[in-house]
Amino acid sequence: MKKLILTLLLPLLFISCSDDFTVLGPISERNVVNYYKTQSDFEVAINGAFDALQSNGTFGVKYVLFMEMRADNTANGGGATGLAETLEDIDKFAEIPTASELNDSWIASYDGIARANTIISRIDDVTFTSDDVKNRIKGEAHFIRSMLYYHLAVIFGNVPLITAEVTAPQNMNLNQVSATEVMTQIATDLTAAEGLLPSTGRVSSGAAAALLGRVHLQAGDKASAVAPLKRVVSSNVYSLEANYADIWGPGNEGSSEILFQVEFMSGNVGEGSSFTDMFTASGVAGGVGGGVAPQTVTQDFIDSYEVGDLRQAATLSDSATVEKYEDSPSSPFDSDVNWVEIRYAEVLLNLAEAVGEGAEGYGYINQVRARAGLAAIDGTTPGSYDDKLLQERRVELAFENKRWPDLLRHGKAKSVMASHLGIGEGSVTLLFPIPQSQIDVAPDEMSQNAGH
């Protein structure tokens, strides 16, 4: 659903009590009294929660830096000095807790969580004309909160876990917990969401199940990941596109393969995306000085394709820019390209990981390989099962923010990145530093990640 609601919505949804507490701030007293009273209020509010996913601090820009550029598929293409220096630091594991990118992402993520928390905390007190609408909005809020907490847990690890509306931040416990506890809460949220959401829509029950499977895998619980992923497969709602290129671009937003996408809209109304500027030669933002974080495809990634892989031409141009995000924006940050966050190929590869090596696991991998024009693999194919799976995930899910979590989950981040960058494994940190500004707000309750 393309929306034009942002400028009307922001003043209503979220006003923090101070700049330092933007991350967990309350709704103003005026809004508590006058808002969240009707079905219409919640329909507007959930659009505001979705809008948090578009933010430059979340999927709009920063998650790409922390989930894709951090790994070995892309590198900072904006230079190493001036405005680009902090981007280079992130790329080379040299970022510091005061880096603005970290704080921006933290604030934007918790802003979205706060919006979802308010909806979840208040919606049961309001009578709706339709229980289906009420359940959908509540399920969407649980899903959005889960999506944001998943990224916070992967990026920062030990973060505050807040699941209720914050009305008095000066009296609250920040409740900084481990990533394991965060993932447990996410699993609870997504289980609830799956039961509330329709089978189709901008967030479906299948999207919740797919994300639940991903979360269980990231938490190291393969056994629990199997059932929700198989529910997606058995639903027969989603399927692989016959042609890999038909997943991407504004003309393919209704692809049968897409379970969830963060939606953007061009037209100079503040709803466009920056991905064409970041990843392709068609962007118009003009590099770091123009407000973009250019991504350069690494030679290591280019060399990772097997001969005959049909995905290569659909992923990379002849000049090694990313075809997935090609568009023709007329102004900076105004592409019509959406961010595809969950798709059916990932579900199949996640299932292959969850069930482990065997005929079933190879069967899921080979569904993906067959579309790419590649021969089937099995236990006799050289390499370990994990290595073969990681290779398939790398080329299938390239530039979709999956590579860094994959390396973390498989215990490969230190060895792969040390080799890629020519540095010692001790220089490769697995978690980003907690923004110093957030620790300064509550130094007795917040602790910094080790190594920072």
Q: What are the boundaries of each domain within the chain?
A: 1-197
| Rounded Cα gap, residues 232 and 259, in angstroms | 10
Which of 412, 357, 411 is closest to 384 using CA atoms? 357
pLDDT at 290 (0 to 100)? 86
pLDDT at 31 (0 to 100)? 57
Beta bridge partners of 159: 177
Residues 6+ apart with CB under 8 A from 448: 97, 433, 434, 439
- Record the pTM: 0.93
Query: HEC string of 348-416?
Result: HHHHHHHHCCCHHHHHHHHHHHHHCCCCCCCCCCCCCHHHHHHHHHHHHCCCCCCHHHHHHHCCCHHHH
| Rounded Cα gap, residues 35 and 235, in angstroms | 38
The distance of Cα 147 from the centroid of its chain, to the nearest Å, equals 7
Which of 26, 29, 31 is closest to 16 using CA atoms? 26
Residues 6+ apart with CB under 8 A from 188: none
Q: Which tens digit of pLDDT belongs to each residue from 221-250?
A: 999 999 999 999 999 999 999 999 999 999
> Could you tell me the two tokens for 7?
């400028």
pLDDT at 341 (0 to 100)? 98
Query: Rounded to whole angstroms, what are the CA distances from 424 to 94, 279, 387, 390?
Result: 13, 29, 22, 22
pLDDT at 173 (0 to 100)? 79
pLDDT at 137 (0 to 100)? 98
Side chain identity, residue 48: G
164 neighbors 121 (Cβ within 8 angstroms): yes
pLDDT at 2 (0 to 100)? 38
Q: Could you please state the CATH topology (level 3) that the domain comprising 1-197 is classified under.
A: 1.25.40
pLDDT at 162 (0 to 100)? 94
Residues of the chain with pLDDT under 50: 1-23, 25-30
Cβ burial of 39 (10 Å; 0-12, 13-18, 19+) is middle
pLDDT at 174 (0 to 100)? 86
